[in-house]
Structure formats: structure tokens, C-alpha cells
Amino acid sequence: MPERRTRRPDRRSKPAAARPARRAAEPRTDGPLLELEVGDVAHGGVFVARHEGRVVFVADAAPGERVVARVQDASKDRFWRADAVEVLEASPDRVPHIWAESGIDRDPIDRAGGAEFGHLRLGYQRELKGRVLADALSRFGGVEVAPAVEPVLVYEGAEDVGTGWRTRVRLHVDADGNVGPYAARSHRVVPVASLPLAVPAIERIAPLGQPFRGAEHVDLIAPSTGDAQIVVADARSSRSAPPTVDEIVAGRRFTVDRDGFWQVHRGAAETLYRAVQDAVDDALFDPRAANLDLYGGVGLLAGALLDRFGETVRLTTVEADARATEHAGTNLAGAVGVRAETARVDRFLQRLVEHPTAAERARLADATIVLDPPRSGAGREVVDLLAASGARQLVYVACDPVALGRDVGLLRAHGYELEEVRAFDLFPSTHHVEAVARLTRR
């Protein structure tokens, strides 16, 4: 299952050109079998092999392994896609898959998606994610850094084992009413008997094996306050204002729509909250400047700045989703210098930099800008506008290594340099990794 279950309008999916093309919705069951020597990890949770000079992206493998793989997509001249179906020589970092329904002993069309690194030792997963991030920053950003991927802050009594972390799970429903996750890289519903990535409260209420004929999907939600909930969506679902839930982060309460965006790992919000606080260089922070929180959602990272620098900080949080902006205004209501604005980030920045007065230009040049863009990253247009602002420092929260690398490269061309970057394993047993980077104006 994707790491971000519900998207705000600004959280668009990453363009296909920046990663290997997605597989067709229904994987083949009759593709040719190849014996392959597996090389290094690639972006997207697959591994690189070669067959007669052609690149083959192999799922469910590991670097150094020799596997038999079934080709699923041979439609591209430059590369094919395949799934490992037998391991001839195993990596020492291979372990029994944490999700039985995703294991290599199953036919690829029946493997549950959303745990593509679950067959690897947890520490090795993080090593691989670090390699992907370092490669993206080097290849696209022109900087040589190799941040270690840090575990998420876990609650007292919790073990860092790569399971039991998801507080939001979406199960899909097929035409026959069967409920389950999608199979890996497809839209085929796979009935399962377990949800090992989910927090225990979700596992207890998950309606696995129950028919949901006529439903579109079933959401399982376990907020940090209140009981876990099952939400069944169908064509008759109400279009009125959705119910809300409350999340507590570092003692601060955030109201969010029940089906709105929130970090899915139970410790992710607080991890990012503290990482952003740590990333801001206080020597460069001016509380009276035109500080910004872009793609701000319900105000999580704005709250982090307020808790570090005080409730009188001048700060505008910008979000395209009107409901999220409404919640941000409420969540940050005690701060006298905060304004929550509903706007697309590119349009907001365009207005800001187009015709500023001398005083406005000075306040913007002294600003700290926090941005948490969609998986596609900020992109060239927003980067150009950020550079035009002349802000002192940018704190960039990224959920895609390639998008971050590209945007770091674009910002460096405008005179910003990457000062530090940290990486966090917000999605254990998947290929996803989050990074927090600080860039400063030369």
C-alpha cells in the first residue's frame, strides 16, 4: 500500500519520467523465466540485474543474490521488469518475510503489496535506503553526502522491528466484495489474514475475510487519541464535512479530517516535528521576518517552529486544501503572528515575489522557509520562486530521494547550498525514506 494514503491537492504523485515506469495493473503469469545475478538497489524498491545487455529491474531480491525471476513487463526497449520466484544463492541479509502474504513462496500476482523490503534485515533495509538517497543527491543534486537512515522515535515499550507502525491502512474491495490490499504493483485485491505493519489496535478491528460488496474501500484509522475506527466508503458516502480526529505531537493537539493527510507511522509526526526544529539554524532565524511554512497541511511543522521560537513568531502557513487550512488556523490559534492561507504554493509565491515593497523584500530575504512538498517535489517553478524570494534558509522535508536530489540541484544553481541532510525510516519494510535538508543562501 502506498505510504501516503490520502493526498492533499498539492501532494501530487511523482512523474513517471523520474523513476522506472510502473507495471501494468495485471502482472503476467506466463512471462519468461530468467536466471539473474542481482546487482545494487534502484529507486522504487527494486534491484538491478542484466540479461543479454538489457537492464532488468527485479523485485523481491537483494544485492549479490542469484535468483530465478519471471519477467512481468518486457514492453520497454531499455529495461524489463521481473519478480524473483526462486532464490538460488541468498543474501546473508535475507530473512523470512515479515508478511507471509508477501513472501517469495507465493506467486507474484498473489503477493500483497506495501512491504517490498520485508524480506531483508531491518538494518540492511536502512543501508539500502541510504544508498538510494546518496545516489540521488550525487546524481541530480551534485553533492556528495551519505546520511545514515535513522529509525523513527518509538514509544516506550515499543521495539524497532519494522512492524506494528501503521496508524492508517486502506483496504480495497473488488467486484466480488473481497477486501484486502492490492497485490504488489497492481490493482488486484489480495485477501490476507494479517496486517503486520499495522499498529495492534488496527489489527484487532481489521475486517479481514468479511465481504464488503458494493464498497469502494475500507479505511482503518488509529489516531493517538480515541479508539481505532473502521470507515467504509461507497458511492453513497456523505459529501458533507468529514468527521475529525485529534493527534497529539510533543504535547500540542492537532485536529485533522479523519480521511485527511497525516503521517502514517505512529512516531513519524513527532520525528519530523523535532527534526525540523533541529534543522533550523537559529543564528539565521529572524522571528520578525516573513517566515513561511509551505504545503503546510494542518500546521504540524508550523507548530514545531512556534514551539522552538515562541508564539510571537511571524509565520504564514500555506496549503491548497481549504479544510486543512481551516484546521491549521484552529490548531495554531494561540499564536498571534501566525496566518493560515489557502492557496497553491506556486501562486502564493508568485504574488509574494512579484512586486514587493522594499520593507517586504527585506523581511522575505531574512526569512526561514519550511516546505514539505508532495512526492513529486517542489519542482522548477516553485524552486525559481523560492530563489527569487532570497530567503536566508530553506528547510526541505522530502519523501522522495530523486525529487529532493533534483530540487537540491536546481537550488544550488540559484546560489543555495546544502548544509545538512538527515534521513528517517518512516516506512519500515518498504523502500520509502523521508529526508530533512537545510539549504542556505550563499
Q: Is 295 annotated as a binding residue?
A: yes
Q: Binning pLDDT at 50, 70 and 90, where does residue 271 land?
A: very high
Tens digit of pLDDT for each residue in 378-431? 999 999 999 999 999 999 999 999 999 999 999 999 999 999 999 999 999 999
Q: Which of 335, 398, 374, 312 is nearest to 140 (CA)?
A: 398
In which order are the strands placed within the sheet that holds 338-342?
149-151, 416-425, 434-441, 393-398, 368-371, 291-294, 315-319, 338-342
Could you tell me if 368 and 395 are in contact, meaning their C-beta atoms sit under 8 angstroms apart?
yes
Tell me the average pLDDT of the chain. 91
Tens digit of pLDDT for each residue in 307-332? 999 989 999 999 999 999 999 999 99
Could you tell me if 378 and 295 are in contact, meaning their C-beta atoms sit under 8 angstroms apart?
no
Could you tell me if 332 and 307 are in contact, meaning their C-beta atoms sit under 8 angstroms apart?
no
What mean pLDDT is predicted for residues 83-105? 97
Q: Which of 36, 20, 26 is nearest to 70 (CA)?
A: 36
Q: Binning pLDDT at 50, 70 and 90, where does residue 20 land?
A: very low
Tens digit of pLDDT for each residue in 42-55? 999 999 999 999 99
Domains, in order of start, for the chain: 16-119 (2.40.50.140), 128-155+247-441 (3.40.50.150), 168-240 (no CATH)
3-class secondary structure per residue, 36-102: EEEEEEECCCEEEEEECCEEEEEECCCCCCEEEEEEEECCCCCEEEEEEEEEEECCCCECCCCCHHH
Cα–Cα distance, 413 to 416 (Å, whole number): 7
Among this protein's residues, is 399 annotated catalytic?
yes
Cα–Cα distance, 327 to 140 (Å, whole number): 36
pLDDT of residue 307: 96
Share of the chain above pLDDT 90, in %: 84
**CA of 176: how far to CAs of 179, 180, 188, 195, in Å?**
9, 12, 12, 21
Least confident of 148-157, 223-232, 316-325, 360-369: 148-157
Q: Binning pLDDT at 50, 70 and 90, where does residue 155 land?
A: low
Cα–Cα distance, 332 to 219 (Å, whole number): 28
Q: Binning pLDDT at 50, 70 and 90, where does residue 239 land?
A: low
User: What are the cell numbers at 117?
Assistant: 523490503
Cα–Cα distance, 171 to 179 (Å, whole number): 6
More confident residue, 96 or 239: 96
Q: Is 263 annotated as a binding residue?
A: yes
Least confident of 26-30, 164-168, 215-219: 26-30
Radius of gyration of the chain (CA): 22
Q: Is the pTM of this model over 0.95?
A: no
User: What are the cell numbers at 24?
Assistant: 501494468
The answer to whether residue 273 scores a pLDDT higher than 50 is: yes
Q: Binning pLDDT at 50, 70 and 90, where does residue 31 land?
A: confident
The answer to whether residue 24 scores a pLDDT higher than 50 is: no
pLDDT of residue 6: 36
pLDDT of residue 65: 98
DSSP 8-state secondary structure symbol assigned to residue 24: P
Task: Identify any residues that bridge with 47 across adjacent strands, giving them in sequence order.
Answer: 41, 58
pLDDT of residue 282: 96
Task: Identify any residues that bridge with 46 across adjacent strands, giving them in sequence order.
Answer: 42
Tens digit of pLDDT for each residue in 124-141? 999 999 999 999 999 999
Could you tell me if 372 and 10 are in contact, meaning their C-beta atoms sit under 8 angstroms apart?
no
Task: Identify any residues that bridge with 173 across adjacent strands, giving them in sequence order.
Answer: 179
Q: Which of 250, 299, 254, 301 is nearest to 280 (CA)?
A: 301
Q: How do strand 33-42 and strand 252-257 relate by DSSP bridges? A: unpaired
User: What are the cell numbers at 18?
Assistant: 523520474
DSSP 8-state secondary structure symbol assigned to residue 31: P
In which order are the strands placed within the sheet that holds 215-221?
179-180, 168-173, 215-221, 229-234
* Of 399, 418, 426, 433, catalytic: 399
Task: Identify any residues that bridge with 218 across adjacent strands, giving them in sequence order.
Answer: 171, 232
More confident residue, 236 or 414: 414
Q: Binning pLDDT at 50, 70 and 90, where does residue 162 land?
A: confident
Cα–Cα distance, 79 to 20 (Å, whole number): 9
pLDDT of residue 16: 30
**CA of 42: how far to CAs of 20, 36, 133, 189, in Å?**
9, 16, 10, 26
**Residue type present at position 39:** G
Q: Give the Cα-Cα-Cα angle 200, 203, 205 (nearest 5 degrees).
A: 115
Question: How far is C-alpha 165 from the geometric centre of its chain's CA atoms?
Answer: 14
Could you tell me if 49 and 37 are in contact, meaning their C-beta atoms sit under 8 angstroms apart?
yes
Q: At what angle do helices 401-413 and 122-141 cross, to 10 degrees?
A: 30
Cβ-count burial 55-77 (b if 16+ within 10 Å, e if not):
bbbbbbbbbbbbbebbbbbeeee
Least confident of 89-93, 136-140, 233-237: 233-237
